[in-house]
Amino acid sequence: MKFETLRLMAQDYADRHKEPPPLPATIDTMACAYQRICQGEDPWTALGDFSNAWHGYAKHIRPELVKDPLIKPEQETEYTQRWAAFCAASVEYLCGLHRQSCPQWVHDSSYILETPWWYTQRADDPTIREHTRRTTPPPFARRNIFCSNRLYQNKYELYEWIGEAIDKGMTDVHEIQRYARQKEISLYGA
């Protein structure tokens, strides 16, 4: 990729985010995402929509995206309990990562799973389990969920980091990429 391409990408991102964009009629809060999961929607579609709000169009109102507690279904299942715990862990994780105040509802003990949930491929492999145990972010591990530390990586931060590097006077593409990679490692780990 050429420097000019990176510069244009970063400039386009900065231009589009000078002022908060108009909000859609429905804002993808975590409570809404959980309701959609309980109604049968693919969890990663619902959480992806929430993530787009958190990192993109509604980042200026992040506290509003997570303030409402999850409404549990009348008939809880292992599936809905797991995803409720996952949503609570996600809120705590993202609030910590982005220095936002965390709502109290996430600390409810009902969001702690009794048995570990290994949300990873080849979870029966002891080597994978040990690596996952070491790299799972604490808000997930405390709830007995073991998963990747890269669940919420996103394109929005990458564009910001490219812009930061250019603002610092970097023009070498490899130097810009190293800068962005270091920022990524500082947030999400290696």
Q: What is the pLDDT of residues 12-57, one digit of tens each?
A: 877 776 777 777 778 999 999 999 999 999 999 999 999 999 998 8
Residue 100 has pLDDT above 90, yes or no: yes
Average pLDDT over residues 70-83: 96
Residue 180's pLDDT band, with cuts at 50, 70 and 90, is confident
Please report which confidence band the pLDDT of residue 88 belongs to, taking 50, 70 and 90 as the band edges.
Answer: very high
Is the pLDDT reported for residue 160 higher than 80? yes
HEC per residue, 9-27: HHHHHHHHCCCCCCCCCCC
Give percent of the chain above pLDDT 90: 56
Question: Closest Cα partner for 90 from 137, 28, 55, 132?
Answer: 137
Give Cα 37 to chain centroid, integer Å.
16
| Torsion angles phi and psi, residue 8, rounded to 5 | -65, -40
Query: Is 90 exceeded by the pLDDT of residue 89?
Result: yes
Q: What is the mean pLDDT of residues 66-94?
A: 97
Residue 169 phi, psi (nearest 5): 95, 5
Per-residue pLDDT band at 190 (split at 50, 70, 90):
low
Q: Tell me which of 1-10, 34-43, 81-90, 160-169 is least confident.
A: 1-10
The pLDDT of residue 1 is above 80: no
pLDDT of residue 113 exceeding 80: yes
pLDDT recorded at residue 161: 87
CA 20 to chain CA centroid, Å, is: 20
Exposed/middle/buried for 84, CB within 10 Å: 0-12, 13-18, 19+?
Answer: buried
Give the Cα separation of 51 and 93 in Å (integer).
12
Residue 106 clears pLDDT 80, i.e. is over it: yes
Structure confidence at residue 6 as a pLDDT band (50, 70, 90): confident
pLDDT of residue 146: 94
Residue position matching structure tokens 């500082």:
186
First to last CA, the chain: 23
pLDDT mean over 123-141: 89
The residue to which tokens 């787009």 are assigned: 52
Nearest to 90 by CA among 41, 131, 51: 51
- 118 bridge partner residues: 146
Average pLDDT of every residue of the chain: 90
Name residues whose C-beta falls within 8 Å of residue 53's C-beta, 6 or more positions apart in sequence: 27, 28, 29, 59, 65
